[in-house]
């Protein structure tokens, strides 16, 4: 049985993974705080990504950019003008949401476009569930003409029903820019306006020459970054799937035109397999190729890696072929040369870029959903997160069978101290053993070690496996080695040809 999002939300709060932001003040919508176990899970996601993208390879460099960047970065990238979603209001209940999230959504966009001959044309495009609205932006091509402006948007057919109150009093959609703005300095005017970055990718483009030059790189090579991004998203009801601020893990891979399609296939496969490597179930993952008319304005090809979320299939990560769009746009805006000079052919090349872009929060949520299991054990419900050990927030819990016996507690604490040198290990004596096991199962701790009265005689402890619930008696001195053999934190790569 598939788990509901509400079950995951409740587990997250109860067990210290994720809390609503500013809860004591009534909460801040679409913002979340990560608790003690959520912090560990997120660190594990970032570490596993960095290991696969940077540490295990020789062709990718890391980068960490500031969140506030020169406003021209966002003019060049097209975000100031085009980073929009269609917004509707319900006149009855005043709810506000994304038009393309209304049931049965279809809208007619009337747009102006310029033909190759320079003439201006007006035409209509009908958008529905198949073609997301974000593709209808300046630069969009339709029958050989390039879109210039969106003149009007109207719902197609009869008025749509408000998803919140059920009334049929929705306004027509209007475009809304997702960039968060703030000001530098004491005067809040247009000249001091800056934007909170909506993606980390532009940091890699504007630092292309800095990284290439300082690290003496030749094509192909990539630049990877993990960091916070901000989007003033309209619809925000899917827990950490869509939030106002979130963390992205993005990598821009710069290569020579002509080698791009091969690299594109490489990256779609690498990224798909990364999820399998860390235990996501194959049947819950799929690849979805964007149709030509669905591609974002900068993108030549795009595959989404999708996951079967409780709310339906949704994007987990996008792998996009961005062509030379971004570097060309930044050369134009900044007047700086960002071409790569090929010493062999004596040619100046504008590299093509392949971009795998994932979200830390969405990935962490996916690991939790995929790992969630409920089963019946001796007539009682057992909830267990079968997280891959690399993702598990805690690797081992040490539990005393009798907390009144000082020698048992002492041995437990000594063992915990030793294990802590290597892993995230905890000591817990706040309940009876059955309850302590259940608590660790529910947060996905792969192993529990229990020290009992017998341990004082035979020098052994019971090691319990989270998944099988099997128990082994192991000498205290051998426990570390025993766990090390079983806690595979760096699993071997998977090589499934997801994209041929
Ligand atoms: P969506 O179509 O879901 O809005 P997108 O295509 O705009 O996403 P990208 O710009 O490709 O997303 O961003 C890359 C990744 O960043 C996404 O796959 C997702 O994991 C994450 N991401 C994007 N927006 C959000 C958000 N508002 N909240 C949480 N994660 C996000």
Residue linked to tokens 């094509």: 219
271 pocket-lining for ligand 1 (C-beta < 6 Å): no
In this prediction, residue 115 carries a pLDDT of: 82
Q: Quick check: is 387 in a domain?
A: no
Cβ 96 vs Cβ 169: under 8 Å = no
**pLDDT for 98-148, tens place per residue?**
887 788 778 888 888 888 788 888 888 887 766 666 666 666 777 777 777
Q: What is the CA radius of gyration of the chain?
A: 26
The Cα–Cα gap between 397 and 449 comes to 6
The Cα–Cα gap between 371 and 365 comes to 10
Residue of 108 and 391 predicted with greater confidence:
391
CA-nearest residue, atom 16 of ligand 1: 359
End-to-end CA distance of the chain: 31
**pLDDT for 140-190, tens place per residue?**
777 777 777 777 888 887 668 888 888 888 888 888 889 999 999 999 988
Helix (H, G, I), strand (E, B) or coil at 291: coil
* Neighbouring residues of 135: CB distance < 8 A, sequence distance ≥ 6: 293, 294, 295, 296, 297
The Cα–Cα gap between 306 and 317 comes to 7
Q: State whether 61 and 89 are in the same domain.
A: no
Phi, psi of 471 (to 5 degrees): -125, 140
Whether 275 shows a pLDDT value over 80: the answer reads yes
In this prediction, residue 137 carries a pLDDT of: 64
Q: State whether 223 and 253 are in the same domain.
A: yes
In this prediction, residue 78 carries a pLDDT of: 87
Atom of ligand 1 nearest to the CA of 236: 27
Helix (H, G, I), strand (E, B) or coil at 331: helix
Mean pLDDT of 285-304: 82
Q: State whether 169 and 185 are in the same domain.
A: no
What mean pLDDT, rounded, does the chain reach?
92
Question: Which of 37-46, 288-297, 305-314 is predicted with the least confidence, judged by mean pLDDT?
Answer: 288-297
Atom of ligand 1 nearest to the CA of 320: 11
In 216-293, DSSP assigns E strands to 221-230, 245-255, 285-289
Atom of ligand 1 nearest to the CA of 247: 30
365 pocket-lining for ligand 1 (C-beta < 6 Å): no
Q: State whether 464 and 363 are in the same domain.
A: no
For β-strands 425-427 and 396-400, DSSP reports them as parallel
Structural element, H or E, at residue 169? none
217 pocket-lining for ligand 1 (C-beta < 6 Å): no
Q: State whether 228 and 300 are in the same domain.
A: yes
In this prediction, residue 161 carries a pLDDT of: 85
Q: Quick check: is 493 in a domain?
A: no
**pLDDT for 212-251, tens place per residue?**
999 999 999 999 999 999 999 876 578 999 999 999 999 9
Q: Quick check: is 209 in a domain?
A: yes
Helix (H, G, I), strand (E, B) or coil at 367: helix
Q: State whether 164 and 88 are in the same domain.
A: yes
Here the tokens at position 74 are 């966002």
CA-nearest residue, atom 19 of ligand 1: 359
Query: ∠ CA(218), CA(351), CA(348), 5° rounding?
Result: 75
Q: Of 201, 246, 285, which is best to mutate to test ligand 1, by the most ligand atoms within 8 angstroms of its C-beta?
A: 246
Atom of ligand 1 nearest to the CA of 233: 27
Q: State whether 186 and 48 are in the same domain.
A: yes
Phi, psi of 49 (to 5 degrees): -65, -45
In this prediction, residue 163 carries a pLDDT of: 82
Q: State whether 66 and 91 are in the same domain.
A: no
Measured in Å, residue 139 CA sits from the centre of ligand 1 at 21
Query: ∠ CA(140), CA(145), CA(147), 5° rounding?
Result: 40
Number of domains composing the chain: 3
In this prediction, residue 139 carries a pLDDT of: 65
98 pocket-lining for ligand 1 (C-beta < 6 Å): no
Helix (H, G, I), strand (E, B) or coil at 459: coil
Q: State whether 290 and 433 are in the same domain.
A: no
DSSP letter at 284 equals: G
The closest of 373, 416, 425, 429 to 395, measured between CA atoms, is: 425
Q: Quick check: is 494 in a domain?
A: no
The Cα–Cα gap between 319 and 181 comes to 28
Per-residue confidence band for 291, with pLDDT thresholds at 50, 70 and 90: confident
Q: Quick check: is 378 in a domain?
A: no
Q: Which domain holds residue 242?
A: 5-82+178-368
In this prediction, residue 250 carries a pLDDT of: 98
Question: Which CATH number does the domain housing residue 43 bear?
Answer: 3.30.930.10
The Cα–Cα gap between 234 and 177 comes to 10
How many Cα atoms occupy the beta-carbon half-sphere of 164 within 13 Å? 16
Q: Residue 280: how many CB atoms within 10 A of its CB? A: 23
Q: Of 359, 360, 363, 366, which is best to mutate to test ligand 1, by the most ligand atoms within 8 angstroms of its C-beta?
A: 359
Q: State whether 116 and 222 are in the same domain.
A: no
CA-nearest residue, atom 6 of ligand 1: 318
Q: Quick check: is 497 in a domain?
A: no
User: What percentage of the chain carries pLDDT values higher than 90?
Assistant: 75
In this prediction, residue 325 carries a pLDDT of: 93
The Cα–Cα gap between 371 and 358 comes to 19
DSSP letter at 160 equals: P
Q: State whether 207 and 235 are in the same domain.
A: yes
In this prediction, residue 297 carries a pLDDT of: 64
The Cα–Cα gap between 286 and 277 comes to 15
Q: Quick check: is 382 in a domain?
A: no
197 pocket-lining for ligand 1 (C-beta < 6 Å): no
CA-nearest residue, atom 4 of ligand 1: 242
357 pocket-lining for ligand 1 (C-beta < 6 Å): yes
Measured in Å, residue 359 CA sits from the centre of ligand 1 at 7
Residue linked to tokens 């901000």: 230
State pTM to two decimals: 0.90
Q: State whether 191 and 69 are in the same domain.
A: yes
Q: Quick check: is 458 in a domain?
A: yes
In this prediction, residue 174 carries a pLDDT of: 84
Helix (H, G, I), strand (E, B) or coil at 215: coil
In this prediction, residue 402 carries a pLDDT of: 93
In this prediction, residue 394 carries a pLDDT of: 98
Q: Which of 152, 176, 200 is the last residue of a domain?
A: 176
Cβ 263 vs Cβ 103: under 8 Å = no
In this prediction, residue 293 carries a pLDDT of: 66
Torsion angle, CA of 359/363/366/367, rounded to 10 degrees?
-170
Helix (H, G, I), strand (E, B) or coil at 384: strand
The Cα–Cα gap between 436 and 394 comes to 14
DSSP letter at 333 equals: H
Helix (H, G, I), strand (E, B) or coil at 52: helix
Helix (H, G, I), strand (E, B) or coil at 378: coil
The Cα–Cα gap between 133 and 140 comes to 11
79 pocket-lining for ligand 1 (C-beta < 6 Å): no
Structural element, H or E, at residue 327? helix 325-334
351 pocket-lining for ligand 1 (C-beta < 6 Å): no
Question: Which CATH number does the domain housing residue 475 bear?
Answer: 3.40.50.800
């Amino acid at each position: 049985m598939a788990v509901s999002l509400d079950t995951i939300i409740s587990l997250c709060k109860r067990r210290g993974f994720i809390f609503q932001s500013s809860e004591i003040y009534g909460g801040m919508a679409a913002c979340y705080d990560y608790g003690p176990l959520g912090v560990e899970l997120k660190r594990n996601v970032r570490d596993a990504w960095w290991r696969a993208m940077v540490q295990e390879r020789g062709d990718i460099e890391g980068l960490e950019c500031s969140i506030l960047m020169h406003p021209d970065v966002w003019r060049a990238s097209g975000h100031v003008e085009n980073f929009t979603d269609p917004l509707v209001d319900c006149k009855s209940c005043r709810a506000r949401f994304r038009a393309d999230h209304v049931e049965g959504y279809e809208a007619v966009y009337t747009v102006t476009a310029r033909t190759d001959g320079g003439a201006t044309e007006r035409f209509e495009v009908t958008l529905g569930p198949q073609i997301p609205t974000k593709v209808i932006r300046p630069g969009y091509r339709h029958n050989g003409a390039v879109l210039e402006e969106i003149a009007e948007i109207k719902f197609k057919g009869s008025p749509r029903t408000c998803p919140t109150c059920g009334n049929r009093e929705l306004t027509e959609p209007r475009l809304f820019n997702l960039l968060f703005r703030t000001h530098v300095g004491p005067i809040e005017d247009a000249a001091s306006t800056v934007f909170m970055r909506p993606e980390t990718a532009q940091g890699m483009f504007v630092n292309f020459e800095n990284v290439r030059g300082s690290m003496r790189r030749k094509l192909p090579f990539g630049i990877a970054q993990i960091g916070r991004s901000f989007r003033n998203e309209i619809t925000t009801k899917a827990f950490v799937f869509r939030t106002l601020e979130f963390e992205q893990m993005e990598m821009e891979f710069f290569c020579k035109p002509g080698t791009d399609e091969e690299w594109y296939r490489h990256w779609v496969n690498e990224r798909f397999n990364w999820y399998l490597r860390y235990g996501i179930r194959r049947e819950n993952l799929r690849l979805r190729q964007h149709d030509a008319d669905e591609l974002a304005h900068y993108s030549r090809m795009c595959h989404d890696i999708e996951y079967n979320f409780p709310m339906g299939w949704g994007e987990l990560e996008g792998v996009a072929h961005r062509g030379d769009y971004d570097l060309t746009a930044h050369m134009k805006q900044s007047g700086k040369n960002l071409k790569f000079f090929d010493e062999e052919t004596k040619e100046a090349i504008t590299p093509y870029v392949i971009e795998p872009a994932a979200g830390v929060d969405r990935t962490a949520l996916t690991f939790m959903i995929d790992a969630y299991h409920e089963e019946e054990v001796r007539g009682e419900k057992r909830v267990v997160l079968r997280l891959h050990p690399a993702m598990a927030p805690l690797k081992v819990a040490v539990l005393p069978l009798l907390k009144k016996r000082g020698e048992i507690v002492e041995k437990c604490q000594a063992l915990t101290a030793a294990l802590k040198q290597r892993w995230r290990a905890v000591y817990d004596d706040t309940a009876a053993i059955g309850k302590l096991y259940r608590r660790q199962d529910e947060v996905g701790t792969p192993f529990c070690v229990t020290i009992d009265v017998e341990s004082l005689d035979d020098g052994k402890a019971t090691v319990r496996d989270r998944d099988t619930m099997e128990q082994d008696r192991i000498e205290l001195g051998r426990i570390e080695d025993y766990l090390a053999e079983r806690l595979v934190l760096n699993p071997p790569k998977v090589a499934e040809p997801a994209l041929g």
